[in-house]
Structure 1
Amino acid sequence: MSTPTSIVRTVRLHDSRPPLTVPTMSNEIDQHPRVRLNSRWIEIDGAPGIPVTGELHFSRIPSERWEETLRVMVASGLTSVSTYLFWIHHEPERGEISFEGDLDIARFIETAERVGVDVVLRIGPWCHGEVRNGGHPDWVIAAAPAARTNDPDYLALAAGWYAAVAEQVARFCGPDGRVIGIQIENELYDQPDHIATLKQLARDVGLSAPLWTATGWGGALLPAHEVFPLYSGYADGFWAGQGSTWDDSFRDHFRFTHEWDDPGVGGDFREEGAEIVVRAIDPEFPPATCELGGGMATAYHRRPIARGRDIAALANVKIGNGSAWQGFYMFAGGINPADHLQETHATGYPNDLPRFDYDFQAPIGASGRPGASLGLLRDHNAFLSAFGSRLADMYSSLPDDAPVDIHDRESLRWAVRTDGHSGFLFINTHQPHEPLSGSSGVRFRIDLAGEQVTVPDRAIDIPSGLIARWPLRLELAGTRIEWATASVAGVVGGKIPTIVLRAHDGIPARIQLTTGARVISGGEEFIAGEPFDLEPGQSLLVDDALRVLTVDKRQAERLWYLGDDLIDSADAVWREPGGLVLRAEQPPTAHRWNGDRFEPLEVTTSSAPGIQPVDLISLRTAGDPPTRYGEFMGRSSAPSDAQIDELAAVWRVAALDSGAHSPGDRVELVIEWEGDVAQLRRDGVPIRDRFWDGLPWRIDVTHIDPAAELTLHVVPLTAGSEIDLDAEARARVERGGRLCAIHEVTRVVSARWTGTPR
């Protein structure tokens, strides 16, 4: 029963979407049997859906890891993978173009075909991705100073690049191809004619896709009808100015809104003080994203941490806002394929980036290891997989008292996405840096199909930090959940399907089923009437037609939705033609849902994985660093190799070759360290580097010659160093005054484990 002080939150459902229309794209031009577009949603295999795309840069990942990485991405709920083709990676010298080895885009797409995942190609010619010159080879800059315009010299070079790309990938385009999207250029704001010209050049050489896209943020002017505008959203950004606070453009992504433009991303390429006109979405296309921050890179001057809950909250808000397509950048991190290919102050870019590292704190790290955010995003993506066909035609409604001011941290942030009959209630009280307040004594009332649905039946307190999506009159397998105060995750098939609900810390998980439903729980049977509590681990059988499994948030982040299989595993697990495969350095503990309970999954391996400490031999102590090595545009510059040689503490890595490993194993160095900049050198030459942000450093050393001399070089960081750090990292510096240490190095060998076939 509601308390006298309770507040009933209401919303007027209002479909503010443009009229349903059908663009020529994917309908009259570039038709595709599996992908079709209208002004409200993307149709997949003949039905509305919400595709989920993850960014992976194939040229930054060893080709031997492509298939496993793609399979883990699919196991994490992705339906497509997007990738840049960095021109400078393939043709650093004019006329010497390569698509061999780790640059083999055709073999990458063939791998995607084998895995069963679609591909979005981002073909540039200018891509960025923190690559030098935005991906333009140096010789292009020299030969065509008016690049990124319709300058004839530049267009001739661009046409040649597109022709080379088409020679590799055109056979994967067209009605039967895995290429479902092609992005033209990137973050180009004021050249719509140029984007249209580039699209025609691409079509002229045989490239085609049902979806032609362009980045629409930053007030971009795009050619009408030619490209599908896609948007972004990051929790924080390395590109912000030195000493700046958390920018409003980041705050904006943690409130429910129907505005999609983002004036912050790419702002480091604009002249200071340049006005950005925030534009409304093009009514020809649905709102969609290609760059929701799956993590964040570190620049030398600014090193933010993208925590898993930050990413999950942002993704949940975008779906509540009405997103028709979720694209995460990055989803799998990587390593630059050669030295000096990154953006730096020397290239005129405002930010110094690491020379090799592009881990991006991604859900799958640069060494192939699942990151801290992967479980949260699997939970999110499982929801979209199960209910995307319904969400696609559900409109978003915001309450009248929705916070308009992004600095308002007191008002409750919530929205409803519905078709007028059923839907989902989205709540967000999570925000990094500036926590949002909770709310006391809350109930929600939504008018659906002429009936008022009140959630829950008694007032509750909404805690700070909540990321929720609650069902409203959700019908499944002939039954109906009127409402629940636990978030909907995924659905697992089988003779009797199972829906997974995620309980929230601090909120009683309650459910209201249709009155009269027959419920069996723990061997006891009752008839549904009043709402009742759910407990994590509890399984309900409703009308012999639907299982309702409740899990806590910790178990939710361990679940893998693999078709009819639901696997509880802290280690990565995916499906291959021969069955289930896991990767772990120790015998994994995994369980499979049998439709009633979790049973142990038997796993075997023919390898000998494990963890071993690595000895270090100190060769030199560190010198005293300056507060700044230099600056450009007001931002601190990274130390040069000469400065690193002068100041870094140096250790030799001993006995890296101890212990054998088998084909299919992965060998990583895991380094717990503190300092400013670190390098791993092989025989004196830098091969990996890292800017310290407080996180461990994982390096794939599977194929590094064990006979080579490996040394670790760490430059000190002091309290006076002019570096913007995450608050936790900054506190460590302030406590220590001067950081320069390697606390532990371990050699981790992970193996493939095969699950017992069904």
Structure 2
Amino acid sequence: MLHLCRVYGTSSLTKHPASSLPHCNTSCFSKGNPMNHTLDLTGFKPKAITPFSITRNDWGVAPDGTAVDFTNYYMTFDGKLFYGVCGEFHYSRMNPSRWDEQLAKMAAGGVNVIATYVFWNHHEEHENQWNFNGRRNIRRFIKLCAKHGLKVIVRLGPFDHGEVRNGGIPDWMYGKPYEVRSVDPGFLDKVRDLYAHVAAQLDGLYFKDGGPIVAAQLDNEYMHSSSPWEMTTGITNEWVPGGHDGFAYVHALRRIAEEEGISVPFYTNTGWGGSPVPDDVLPLWGGYAYRPWLFYAGPGEHPVTDEYVYRNFHSNDCPRGEEFAPTYEPETKPYACCEMGGGMFSSYNYRFVLPMKSVDAMSNIKMASGCNFLGYYMFQGGSNPIGDGIYLNESQLPKISYDFQAALGEFGQTRESYRRMKAVHYFALAFADRLCPLGVAAPEGQESIAPTDMESLRWCVRTDGERGFVFLNNFQDHASMPAKHGESVSVTLASGETVTFDGIGLASDENCILPFNMDLDGVTLTAATAQPVTVIAPAGADHRTFVFLKPDGMDDCWFRFVDGTVHHVPAEAKMETFPASDGRGHTVDIICVSRAKADSMTVVADGTALVFAGDAVSQDAAHPSITNNGAAVYELDGHIIVESTEATVPVTSYPAEFLVEQSVQYKPVSVSPSVQKLSDTRYVIDLPDDLLAADGVADMRLRVRYSGDIGWLWCGSTLVDDNFCNGDVWEIGLKEYVQLLEDHRGQLVLTITPIKEGANVNVESAMAARMENVDGQQAGLESVELQPVYQTVLQAA
């Protein structure tokens, strides 16, 4: 996890006095007045690409000859430009029965790299007693990653943080005659033992063996961050040492890892907070707009952050700040991320419902700001395993739940953020060869916009001087930006020609990417107020189909081609298909879909078809929730699976003949729990028999609404899940507990810790924190329901 505050940046373009600005019309930042915004690329030079040699030649080549390599700006495989989309998934925090389908969902969502922590105390809770079974079976997990074509970064520790007990350091290390996270020989001997056991599990799974493991991270946030020694919490409140040995420690960890057989092409380290990053290690960055660590000492009000302001992170002129203070010249190494906020946990003193649009808005910001490797923490939520007589959480968090409000929830839920991110991920993967080399051109004034400025149009460009993409963002954390209307953007190219985008509008909280001079297989798209998403090659077709989305709030959605042809997309159109030709034999098809339609879309069958399933819109308008009901589509074992909490799911495809069905219909299952109230703080919940017996039901989720401080769900003596109340629905998947429930006759006990008199709880809305003072005790169960999760196989023609 990342503990950050602020960052500022400046453009790599030449600065001019306001009276002579060639880059952006000085009126661009007059507040509240829609107008023309200009960027002058005259004299702009394409990005200088140079080698960045961090891969080991002997370990960076697969058996088929494919080599992994880097330039100073991006990653390559076999010389082909690679845009990394990395999602964090902690194998030991999920029942292994869910691994396969959740990895399939990540692949379907455009993720191509998995990052995972090795939590030392999950594997060696008692000294010299190792456990790599069940949910701790990292070898099986990584093999499943390979099955889904996902590359892997193993975050080795010894310290991880990740909001686990002691940051992953076993309790018994507290009593050793040396300091942890140091170069003391005693500690390094224990690290060697850890790495040796992990290496035995990873043997044969490295890139050089034809496996998916391409990198390993050494420690985490060294010399920057730490976590509580939990055995002292509430008494002396001691913390695991943050470290002070600098490069010597990192070099020692790498030497031990390689000697024990961890044979990765390259190593990574977190770059923020002054962590030491040797020249032969890839620094990784991140960004969090929702920061529970600000409130570890007590509740408060969260400030707005500057995470949603564009800047050029790959410029040597980028000013250093608390979040971004590289010890190297930024233009010499790629700007890559590992901890962009893919969600955020609710801590005891900071509880909020994550605005789901915050996630893809940050993707837009990072991509525009020179990032060619997106990395989310977390992408997949989870549940902490239970230790031997102890819980393995960090004390500020629930003992079991680590849902993180992530794109994919603790029990496999697919959320709005997951559906929205697909568009930007598909774009990065489909057009990596075009996007990766493009430099950053930040219009004058953009990098100094105050986060409190709700009126100025936020925009940035990636370009080579003649072609590229305009990025726009209308999201700001802890605030509400008004919709934009009547805006226009003009970009004067290096050649002197000007491309103008008229009719720009953007709904509140939205973001988008607009192309200019984009080559569509020989057909030049001069500009469009639609976002490119992907390109597919339908079976049997003699040309490809380019897919775009119409951003929500766009005043006029149009496509303008080099021959002067303009195609306008009707405002009410959910999906429009039309051909485009250069008049010389080059023809392509173009699909433009609405934002909601794009959210329901999945690329399938090796990029030859699209499947649209469900409406991807929350069914519960009365309760804004992180648990939307849109369907999920993913491929597993050669089948196309649709998963939904609705009994009827509209399903279409492109080409239309790809699927046999036009909808999926399950026999609705209606089951209800029996609830007995023992007191305001204690309830017995009896579940019906054979929860998963109905045809098509793959899981059953218990949905609980309650008031109080903390919710605890028990089955017998086992704590199944817990929750810090934030006003949202609490969901618990039951399929992994079927046997436990049978053993206890389907009975659960819900206990609620009340909010006590004089206490206050920060239950932040999406906009700003609020304090709630409580008179007397407050606790009560509002509702309990069972929600079936249906799965079926779609039949391709």
Same-fold call, TM cutoff 0.5: yes
Alignment of 1:244-323 (within 5 A): 244-247=300-303, 250-258=305-313, 279=327, 282-323=330-371
- After the TM superposition, which of the residue ranges 685-694 and 311-320 deviates more from structure 2? 685-694
Per the alignment, residue 430 of structure 1 pairs with: 475
- The CA distance in 2 between the partners of 1:5 and 1:317, in whole Å, is 22
Q: 2:289 aligns with which of 235, 239, 246?
A: 235
> Is the 8 Å Cα contact of residues 445 and 455 (structure 1) preserved in structure 2?
yes
- After the TM superposition, which of the residue ranges 90-99 and 211-220 deviates more from structure 2? 211-220
Which letter does structure 1 place at the counterpart of 2:435?
A: L
- The CA distance in 2 between the partners of 1:503 and 1:390, in whole Å, is 21
> Is the 8 Å Cα contact of residues 309 and 449 (structure 2) preserved in structure 1?
no
> Is the 8 Å Cα contact of residues 234 and 253 (structure 1) preserved in structure 2?
no
- The CA distance in 2 between the partners of 1:471 and 1:656, in whole Å, is 54
Deviation of the 1:294 alpha carbon: 0.7
> Is the 8 Å Cα contact of residues 586 and 610 (structure 1) preserved in structure 2?
no
CA 1:679/1:435 → structure 2, altered by over 3 Å: closer, same or farther?
same
Which letter does structure 2 place at the counterpart of 1:22?
A: F
Deviation of the 1:657 alpha carbon: 2.7
Alignment of 1:651-662 (within 5 A): 651-657=683-689, 659-661=691-693
Deviations 1:151-172 (A, max 9, x none): 1111000000000000000211
- After the TM superposition, which of the residue ranges 405-414 and 565-574 deviates more from structure 2? 405-414
Which letter does structure 1 place at the counterpart of 2:489?
A: F
Identity of aligned residues (%): 25
- The CA distance in 2 between the partners of 1:15 and 1:236, in whole Å, is 37
CA 1:304/1:34 → structure 2, altered by over 3 Å: closer, same or farther?
farther
Deviation of the 1:235 alpha carbon: 2.2
1:132 equivalent to 2:165? Answer yes
Q: How many residues are aligned here?
A: 699
Deviation of the 1:603 alpha carbon: 6.9
- After the TM superposition, which of the residue ranges 433-442 and 687-696 deviates more from structure 2? 433-442
Deviations 1:437-458 (A, max 9, x none): 56665322223351433332x4
1:23 equivalent to 2:53? Answer yes
Per the alignment, residue 727 of structure 1 pairs with: 765
Per the alignment, residue 448 of structure 2 pairs with: 404
1:618 equivalent to 2:666? Answer no
Deviation of the 1:588 alpha carbon: 4.3
Q: 1:650 aligns with which of 682, 691, 698?
A: 682
- The CA distance in 1 between the partners of 2:476 and 2:778, in whole Å, is 29
Per the alignment, residue 88 of structure 1 pairs with: 121
- The CA distance in 2 between the partners of 1:56 and 1:177, in whole Å, is 18
- After the TM superposition, which of the residue ranges 429-438 and 694-703 deviates more from structure 2? 429-438
> Is the 8 Å Cα contact of residues 697 and 791 (structure 2) preserved in structure 1?
yes
> Is the 8 Å Cα contact of residues 708 and 725 (structure 2) preserved in structure 1?
yes
CA 1:257/1:383 → structure 2, altered by over 3 Å: closer, same or farther?
same
1:550 equivalent to 2:597? Answer no
Per the alignment, residue 427 of structure 2 pairs with: 383
> TM-score normalized by structure 1?
0.86
Deviations 1:354-390 (A, max 9, x none): 1000000011100111122111111221111111221
> TM-score normalized by structure 2?
0.82
Deviation of the 1:6 alpha carbon: 3.4
- The CA distance in 2 between the partners of 1:415 and 1:421, in whole Å, is 15
CA 1:16/1:739 → structure 2, altered by over 3 Å: closer, same or farther?
farther
Per the alignment, residue 450 of structure 1 pairs with: 495
1:79 equivalent to 2:115? Answer no
- The CA distance in 1 between the partners of 2:410 and 2:609, in whole Å, is 28
Q: 1:511 aligns with which of 548, 558, 561?
A: 558
Per the alignment, residue 529 of structure 1 pairs with: 565
Deviations 1:648-707 (A, max 9, x none): x10000134354527982222121222210000122443311101222111122223234
Which letter does structure 1 place at the counterpart of 2:479?
A: E
CA 1:199/1:406 → structure 2, altered by over 3 Å: closer, same or farther?
farther
Per the alignment, residue 755 of structure 1 pairs with: 794
Which letter does structure 1 place at the counterpart of 2:172?
A: W
SS of alignment partner, residue 405 of structure 2: coil
- The CA distance in 2 between the partners of 1:201 and 1:41, in whole Å, is 28
Which letter does structure 2 place at the counterpart of 1:390?
A: R
Per the alignment, residue 745 of structure 1 pairs with: 784
Ranges in structure 1 where 5+ consecutive residues have no aligned partner = 266-275, 346-351, 517-527, 622-648
- The CA distance in 1 between the partners of 2:519 and 2:481, in whole Å, is 33
> Is the 8 Å Cα contact of residues 603 and 755 (structure 1) preserved in structure 2?
no
CA 1:96/1:156 → structure 2, altered by over 3 Å: closer, same or farther?
same
CA 1:217/1:595 → structure 2, altered by over 3 Å: closer, same or farther?
same
- The CA distance in 2 between the partners of 1:195 and 1:359, in whole Å, is 31
Q: 2:132 aligns with which of 99, 106, 129?
A: 99
> Is the 8 Å Cα contact of residues 218 and 269 (structure 2) preserved in structure 1?
yes
1:360 equivalent to 2:414? Answer no
Per the alignment, residue 635 of structure 1 pairs with: none
Ranges in structure 2 where 5+ consecutive residues have no aligned partner = 1-32, 224-243, 614-629
- The CA distance in 1 between the partners of 2:421 and 2:365, in whole Å, is 13
Alignment of 1:476-515 (within 5 A): 476-494=520-538, 495=541, 496-515=543-562
- The CA distance in 2 between the partners of 1:493 and 1:137, in whole Å, is 51
Which letter does structure 2 place at the counterpart of 1:752?
A: Q
> Is the 8 Å Cα contact of residues 762 and 770 (structure 2) preserved in structure 1?
no
SS of alignment partner, residue 252 of structure 1: coil
Q: 1:122 aligns with which of 155, 160, 167?
A: 155
- The CA distance in 1 between the partners of 2:355 and 2:55, in whole Å, is 37
> Is the 8 Å Cα contact of residues 361 and 511 (structure 2) preserved in structure 1?
yes
- The CA distance in 2 between the partners of 1:585 and 1:574, in whole Å, is 15
> Is the 8 Å Cα contact of residues 670 and 746 (structure 1) preserved in structure 2?
yes
1:706 equivalent to 2:754? Answer no
Per the alignment, residue 696 of structure 1 pairs with: 729
> Is the 8 Å Cα contact of residues 640 and 793 (structure 2) preserved in structure 1?
yes
CA 1:532/1:328 → structure 2, altered by over 3 Å: closer, same or farther?
same
> Is the 8 Å Cα contact of residues 585 and 609 (structure 1) preserved in structure 2?
no
- The CA distance in 2 between the partners of 1:481 and 1:310, in whole Å, is 30
Which letter does structure 2 place at the counterpart of 1:356?
A: I
Per the alignment, residue 678 of structure 1 pairs with: 711
> Is the 8 Å Cα contact of residues 216 and 261 (structure 1) preserved in structure 2?
no
- The CA distance in 1 between the partners of 2:338 and 2:433, in whole Å, is 19
- The CA distance in 2 between the partners of 1:228 and 1:730, in whole Å, is 37
Which letter does structure 2 place at the counterpart of 1:555?
A: K
Per the alignment, residue 217 of structure 1 pairs with: 272
CA 1:585/1:314 → structure 2, altered by over 3 Å: closer, same or farther?
closer
SS of alignment partner, residue 155 of structure 1: helix
- The CA distance in 2 between the partners of 1:430 and 1:63, in whole Å, is 36
> Is the 8 Å Cα contact of residues 667 and 748 (structure 1) preserved in structure 2?
yes
Deviation of the 1:11 alpha carbon: 4.1
- The CA distance in 1 between the partners of 2:177 and 2:439, in whole Å, is 46
- The CA distance in 1 between the partners of 2:190 and 2:119, in whole Å, is 14
Deviation of the 1:222 alpha carbon: 1.6
Deviation of the 1:12 alpha carbon: 3.6
SS of alignment partner, residue 127 of structure 1: coil
Per the alignment, residue 272 of structure 1 pairs with: none
SS of alignment partner, residue 538 of structure 1: strand
CA-based RMSD of the aligned residues comes to: 3.1
Which letter does structure 1 place at the counterpart of 2:404?
A: F
1:183 equivalent to 2:231? Answer no
CA 1:722/1:614 → structure 2, altered by over 3 Å: closer, same or farther?
same
- The CA distance in 1 between the partners of 2:775 and 2:693, in whole Å, is 39
